[in-house]
Amino acid sequence: MNIPNGFTEWVWSEDKPYPETLDTKVAVMFRDGYITSHIADHVGWWWSKIKDADNWLPTGSGSDIIAYKVVEN
């Protein structure tokens, strides 16, 4: 899948389970190609200590976040 210009490909690791800080506002691109183009949420909205609810953790589903873009407040 092509990552749009301005977006950063997301690569999960145990050392970095989410990008930036939990308060950083981002637009995200999901594995199914959907981009939250008109909605910017905090990284914390997509991250959860509960692994099943954490979109930053790749599971192979269409709701995995594969790229993100930091947006201005």
Domain-by-domain residue ranges, the chain?
Answer: 8-70
Q: Which of 11, 14, 39 is nearest to 25 (CA)?
A: 39
Tens of pLDDT, residues 45-73: 999 888 888 899 999 999 899 999 999 76
Q: Please list the alpha-helical segments (H only) found in the chain.
A: 43-46
Average confidence (pLDDT) over 18-41: 90
Q: Which pLDDT score is estimated for 51?
A: 81
- Strands of the chain (E only): list them: 8-9, 25-30, 41-42, 65-70
CB atoms within 10 A of CB 29: 24
